[in-house]
A and B are shown apart, each in its own frame.
Chain A
Amino acid sequence: MDDLVLDHFRKLLEDVCSPNEIRAVENGGSTAVMWTAFQDSGFLDALIPEADGGAGLGLADVAPLFLELGAHAVPLPVAETMIGRALLGKASITSPSGPLALADLTLSRSALVLFADQATHVLADLGDRAALFEMAGFEATVPDSRGWCGARLRIRTDAVPVAELGQPRPGLRAIGAVACAAQIAGATRRVLDMSVAYAGERVQFGKPIGKQQAVQQNLAVMAEHVVMAGMATQIGCADGLDPTLEAAAVAKQVASAAAAAVADIAHAIHGAIGISEEYDLQLLTRRLHALRLAHGSESWWAKALGVARLEQGSTSTVDYIRAIGAV
């Protein structure tokens, strides 16, 4: 990704998604200004071919943008809309102008869907096909907790899709998981930066706590998780908009495991102030926990990968992982 483009995107996020603006949205404020800024920026069509009016970028190209979304705790389905627009575009379906959530309804008629509380439309995987619905096609309930950002969607029996497209393989959950992994990678990196900075400022026993070996060791472990989440995300993004199940599984298993671990260490480093509403760390750690669960936690993906591996049969571990990491 061009540094200039990335800087431009960062500037956009800093302008319209400041911590106070995120708080306002979380408190029920309007997202209209924020969303209009994303729409006007052109970034929402980054994954659409140039011939069709987009930027013609691949998933690996836009992954750094997804990381920035995570690092800024953007409370809207921006990555999901970029992906949804590209999938709809491929099927020659005109995308709606509003935020688009991605939902897997292959396992149940209802699902907790990330950012669905802020979406106007849902691209849903129905198993034999994917379909675009207006939000009116669902009963939406919002869990009354700040620990989740999204809604429970139950598809209405009489829901009529706006448009239908073919069967997504290996399922929308896979690309949704990759998008979450990327946002985790960005958020964990930001949380590490905040924790290192805080450890350098907070003085106890006459010196910054970052001079204590016990704190240094915990921050080193945190850094390792950040490296793992970042690399797993790259593996997930390597195959483009239809990741293999294996690549998506690696991305989300590793990133979800890192998300919880990084949030835990960050709070341990920050002490009581990290628990306070007014300090920005919580915007990121609450999001990390939500991203960890969305589209399947680490164990869900571990099992999916284990099943896939046992089905393939007696391939050595090294040969099996070589095929997943191939770029």
Chain B
Amino acid sequence: MLGNFELQGLPGSAEALRAPLRQLLAKHVGHLPVDVRARSWMGFDRSLSRTLGAAGYLGLTLPREYGGQNLDPFSRFVIVEELLAVGAPVAEHWIADRQSGPLILHFGTEAQRERYLPGIAKGELCFCIGMSEPGAGSDLASVRSRAERTDNGWILNGQKIWTTNAQHADYMIALVRTSGTAADRSEGLSQFIIDLKSPGVTVRPIRDLGGDEHFAEVFFENVFLAEDMLVGNEGAGWAQVTAELALERSGPERIYSSVVLLDAWMAHLEANGRRNEAGTTLLGRLTAQLATLRAVSIAVTAHLAAGERPVVEASILKDLGTGFEQSVPDLIADDLASHPEEDASDALLRTLFYLTMMAPSFSLRGGTREILRGIIARGLGLR
């Protein structure tokens, strides 16, 4: 009833991708300050994404005819793991590569695939996800943004909020209502590709608690959507979003958000010759937990590779992984402030403070802890 989590290695073909990518990243990312790298998949660098695309590291699981590499999810795991390990600023292509591309591949028309996928694989098209609204967070089915049919397409009105990278994105894939009312819940929802340069679209960045502007609110005022902007079937939006969320919840980004800090702290312990019991024990504990989480993440990837939709397994991984990621800045802060005799570098402290501030978001983005635990409880047969 808990799914199957089997320890397995990554195939050699996937591991072979690691060394060349590591070389490329040493050149393009190695020089960035550690607190910039701590932003990782929230950090935006268009030129890096294009470099990665040109080198064949994006659109990995897409077929070659659409500019992809036709590789398996294990290969993508390796690429993503390497990007996160160094904290490469990958926000520009992250969402398109992870979920918008696969979504268009599975549910889109042939014309949509030809139109969007090659640009995604090149790292040239930036996508964002339009799910949350002012009145629809965890209760996603209560979205109120609404597209009404016209003779030759749709007219969209409404609002999205907390949309990561909307201010940089070329397109949003939005979940909106196309029939019925909020009382119809998951019925009557559809997904559209929205060109964010369309007339009637207004994007306002929102400043976050750390001073960055990583998310935004997006307003739609009589935005015209041509027929061919509907993704998949009208009314099938909920099922499509559910499939998309399994991709969103299963990856290594749910365990590695604090790994740059962990490495920086370990370097601090070494530089200070620290061997105290509490610090050593903490290092071992975090290492043991993360080693196990990585194996769980690979096990979930194996389900994706087998063509399954591991909704419960992905929820287990995400809840465990984000809990770990959140514990890292808490525990390291306590350790560092327990050693006032040491000089922690400004870069280490900025990294720590950034993650301390942003850590609450780890268990919000992509589905809250409480929602995930509800999904796990359903997997246990309790609801």
Interface residues of A (CB under 8 A from B): 189, 192, 196, 199-200, 210-211, 213, 215-217, 219-221, 223-224, 226-228, 230-232, 234-235, 238, 249-250, 253-254, 298-299, 301-310, 313-314, 316-322, 324-327
**Closest CB-CB distance, A138 to chain B, in whole Å?**
30
B27 interface residue (CB < 8 Å to A): no
Known interface pairs A302-B288, A317-B262; 6 further A-B residue pairs with C-beta atoms within 8 A, sorted by A's residue number: A223-B380, A224-B319, A227-B316, A231-B295, A302-B281, A306-B283
The answer to whether A317 and B266 have CB atoms under 8 Å apart is yes
CB proximity to A under 8 Å, residues B133-173: none
Query: A230 to B3, alpha carbons, bound, how many Å?
Result: 12
Q: Which of B28-36, B195-203, B371-379 contacts A (4 or more CB under 8 A)?
A: B371-379
Contact of A314 among B270, B379, B382 (CB under 8 A): B270
Q: With A210-B382, A231-B296 in contact, is A250–B291 under 8 Å at CB? A: yes
Q: Which of B5-13, B106-114, B224-232, B243-251 contacts A (4 or more CB under 8 A)?
A: B5-13
Query: A8 to B379, alpha carbons, bound, how many Å?
Result: 28
Chain A residues contacting B256 (CB-CB under 8 Å) are 318
Query: A232 to B5, alpha carbons, bound, how many Å?
Result: 11
Query: A220 to B7, alpha carbons, bound, how many Å?
Result: 21
B280 interface residue (CB < 8 Å to A): yes
**Closest CB-CB distance, A93 to chain B, in whole Å?**
32
B339 interface residue (CB < 8 Å to A): no
The answer to whether A318 and B85 have CB atoms under 8 Å apart is yes
Query: A141 to B256, alpha carbons, bound, how many Å?
Result: 47
Closest to A255 in B: B292
The answer to whether B262 and A327 have CB atoms under 8 Å apart is no
CB proximity to A under 8 Å, residues B277-293: 277, 279-285, 287-293
Q: With A221-B373, A317-B266 in contact, is A235–B284 under 8 Å at CB? A: no
Chain B residues contacting A221 (CB-CB under 8 Å) are 373
B218 interface residue (CB < 8 Å to A): no
Contact of A321 among B8, B277, B287 (CB under 8 A): B287
The answer to whether A219 and B382 have CB atoms under 8 Å apart is yes
The answer to whether A217 and B382 have CB atoms under 8 Å apart is no
Query: A318 to B292, alpha carbons, bound, how many Å?
Result: 12
Q: Can you list 5 A-B contacts (CB < 8 A)? A: A200-B381, A224-B316, A306-B280, A307-B284, A318-B256
The answer to whether B284 and A216 have CB atoms under 8 Å apart is no
The answer to whether A238 and B7 have CB atoms under 8 Å apart is yes
The answer to whether A325 and B373 have CB atoms under 8 Å apart is no
Query: A249 to B284, alpha carbons, bound, how many Å?
Result: 8
B212 interface residue (CB < 8 Å to A): no
**Shortest 9 CB-CB contacts between residues of A and residues of B:** A306-B284, A305-B284, A306-B280, A216-B377, A234-B7, A220-B373, A302-B284, A220-B376, A302-B285
**Closest CB-CB distance, B9 to chain A, in whole Å?**
4
B267 interface residue (CB < 8 Å to A): yes
Give the B interface residue count (CB, 8 A).
53
Query: A215 to B374, alpha carbons, bound, how many Å?
Result: 10
Among A210, A220, A316, A324, the one with the most B-chain Cβ atoms within 10 Å of its Cβ is: A220
Contact of A231 among B269, B279, B292 (CB under 8 A): B292
The answer to whether B377 and A217 have CB atoms under 8 Å apart is yes
Chain B residues contacting A210 (CB-CB under 8 Å) are 382
B259 interface residue (CB < 8 Å to A): yes
**Closest CB-CB distance, A137 to chain B, in whole Å?**
33
**Closest CB-CB distance, B260 to chain A, in whole Å?**
9
The answer to whether B370 and A217 have CB atoms under 8 Å apart is yes
Chain A residues contacting B7 (CB-CB under 8 Å) are 231, 234-235, 238, 325, 327
The answer to whether A309 and B299 have CB atoms under 8 Å apart is no
The answer to whether B383 and A211 have CB atoms under 8 Å apart is yes
Chain A residues contacting B54 (CB-CB under 8 Å) are none
B320 interface residue (CB < 8 Å to A): yes
CB proximity to A under 8 Å, residues B287-321: 287-296, 298-299, 316, 319-320
Query: A324 to B286, alpha carbons, bound, how many Å?
Result: 14
Chain A residues contacting B6 (CB-CB under 8 Å) are 234
The answer to whether B292 and A302 have CB atoms under 8 Å apart is no
Chain B residues contacting A313 (CB-CB under 8 Å) are 270
**Closest CB-CB distance, A239 to chain B, in whole Å?**
12
B213 interface residue (CB < 8 Å to A): no
**Closest CB-CB distance, A212 to chain B, in whole Å?**
9
Chain A residues contacting B287 (CB-CB under 8 Å) are 250, 305-306, 309, 317, 320-321
Query: A169 to B92, alpha carbons, bound, how many Å?
Result: 48
B81 interface residue (CB < 8 Å to A): yes
B357 interface residue (CB < 8 Å to A): no
Closest to A253 in B: B288
Chain A residues contacting B84 (CB-CB under 8 Å) are 318
The answer to whether A303 and B281 have CB atoms under 8 Å apart is yes
Q: With A228-B320, A231-B299 in contact, is A216–B382 under 8 Å at CB? A: yes
The answer to whether B270 and A200 have CB atoms under 8 Å apart is no
**Closest CB-CB distance, B134 to chain A, in whole Å?**
24
Chain B residues contacting A250 (CB-CB under 8 Å) are 287-288, 291-292
Query: A319 to B2, alpha carbons, bound, how many Å?
Result: 29
Chain B residues contacting A234 (CB-CB under 8 Å) are 6-7, 295
Query: A217 to B376, alpha carbons, bound, how many Å?
Result: 8
Contact with A along B21-50 (1 / 0, CB 8 A): 000000000000000000000000000000
